[in-house]
């Protein structure tokens, strides 16, 4: 799979993925918006620069693995899988429709490129830790990535797996936390305190980095640094803006589980034009990226 190596190309791809997400959600009439939009830069960095993965060789035992624990963010992962060649881009229009391979939550048995099914939160870290442990036992050097939401850190299973990974000093395991500070019921610190998140992971024996999750170069650099750390697992806390790229969606937890046309607030356009307005903003942004002097 051809990698993207220039920042303008990577930024354009991330914005294309955001447009794909909005278009999919408009077509489906249901689904999650905030998380998929804020994960676009991370998804772009992983699939188009960082990971050793090829849609033609998904049975390659030496491929890198990505386990998405927050399965409700499926639209962004479907978008990046399609753009990376795992299935036709046109299939994105079938999101959440009867008979689709693109269900509301990710399914390993139906969707090409998906490494593990994800619906109930808190499971991905355990799967990733197990995969990394198996790689160590088999003498493999593939990298295992796990993407988690900050909200799912309410689940005790996340911390059990984190403790396991730290105890066994699992090399080649990188957890990326989408630290967007929202979950379906409100702000994360109001629902259940997450901080000090960095200290908690360090206490379990992880190497921890804090980065801007919308700086693609920073995401790539952190992932490459993680590959070089072989004495312990690595946690990348990626600070992101929920709903990134659409001003009336940003920082608003009500967009966590709602598509365009389903949220009504004082700062939001009328429901019948939310999708159109979101796409307009993203396409304008794409134009700005196109003309950036980088």
Distance in angstroms (rounded) separating the CA atoms of residues 18 and 249: 13
Does the model's pTM come out above 0.85? yes
Maximum separation of any 2 CA atoms in the chain, in Å: 56
Q: What is the mean pLDDT of the chain?
A: 94
Q: Give residue 59's domain range.
A: 7-290
Q: Is residue 70 part of a domain?
A: yes
State pLDDT tens for residues 22-42. 999 999 999 999 999 999 999
In a domain, 249, yes or no: yes
Residue 156 lies in a domain: yes
- Is 262 part of a structural domain of the chain? yes
Model confidence at 287, pLDDT cuts 50, 70, 90, reads low
Does 208 reside within a domain?
Answer: yes
Band the pLDDT of 134: cuts 50, 70, 90.
very high
**Does residue 2 form part of some domain?**
no
pLDDT for 265: 74
Query: Among 9-18, 72-81, 158-167, 256-265, which stretch is predicted with the lowest mean pLDDT?
Result: 256-265
Total number of domains in the chain: 1
Whether residue 275 lies inside any domain: the answer is yes
CA dist., res. 208 & res. 288, Å (int): 33
Q: pLDDT tens digit string along 270-286?
A: 888 999 999 999 998 75
Question: The domain that contains 235 carries what CATH number?
Answer: 3.40.50.970
The answer to whether 212 and 150 are in contact (CB under 8 A) is no
SS (H, E, C) the chain: CCCCCCHHHHHHHHHHHHHHHHHHHHHHCCCCCHHHHHCHHHHHHHHHHHCCCCCCCCCCCCCCEEEECCHHHHHHHHHHHHHCCCCCHHHHHHCCCCCCCCCCCCCCCCCCCCCCCCCCCCCHHHHHHHHHHHHHHCCCCCCEEEEEECHHHHCHHHHHHHHHHHHCCCCCEEEEEEECCEECCEEHHHHCCCCCHHHHHHHCCCEEEEEECCCHHHHHHHHHHHHHCCCCCEEEEEECCCCCCCCCCCCCHHHCCCCCCCCCCCCCCCHHHHHHHHHHHHHHHHHHHHCCCC
Q: Is residue 1 part of a domain?
A: no
For 220-242, what is each residue's pLDDT tens digit?
999 999 999 999 999 999 999 99
């Amino acid at each position: 799979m051809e990698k993207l190596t220039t920042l303008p190309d990577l930024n354009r791809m991330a914005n294309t993925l955001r447009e794909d997400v909005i278009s999919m959600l408009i077509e489906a009439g249901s689904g999650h918006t905030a998380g998929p939009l804020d994960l676009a830069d991370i998804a772009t960095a992983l699939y188009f620069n960082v990971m050793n993965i090829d849609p033609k060789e998904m049975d390659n035992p030496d491929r890198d693995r990505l386990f998405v624990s927050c399965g409700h963010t499926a639209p962004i992962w479907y978008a990046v899988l399609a753009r990376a060649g795992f299935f036709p881009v046109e299939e994105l229009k079938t999101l959440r429709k009867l008979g689709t391979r693109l269900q509301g939550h990710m399914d390993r048995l139906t969707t090409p490129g998906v490494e593990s099914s994800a619906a109930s939160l808190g499971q991905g870290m355990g799967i990733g830790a197990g995969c990394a442990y198996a790689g160590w036992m088999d003498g493999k050097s593939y990298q295992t990535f796990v993407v988690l939401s900050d909200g799912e850190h309410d689940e005790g299973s996340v911390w059990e797996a984190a403790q396991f990974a730290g105890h066994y000093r699992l090399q080649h395991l990188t957890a990326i936390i989408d630290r967007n500070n929202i979950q379906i019921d409100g702000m994360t610190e109001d629902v259940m305190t997450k901080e000090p998140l960095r200290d908690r992971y360090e206490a379990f024996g992880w190497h921890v980095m804090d980065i801007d999750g919308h700086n693609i170069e920073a995401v790539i650099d952190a992932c490459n640094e993680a590959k070089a750390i072989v004495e312990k697992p690595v946690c990348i806390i990626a600070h992101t803006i929920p709903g990134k790229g659409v001003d009336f969606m940003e920082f608003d937890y009500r967009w966590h589980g709602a598509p365009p046309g389903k949220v009504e607030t004082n700062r939001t356009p009328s429901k019948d034009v939310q999708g159109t307005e979101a796409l307009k903003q993203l396409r304008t942004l794409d134009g700005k990226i196109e003309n950036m002097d980088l």
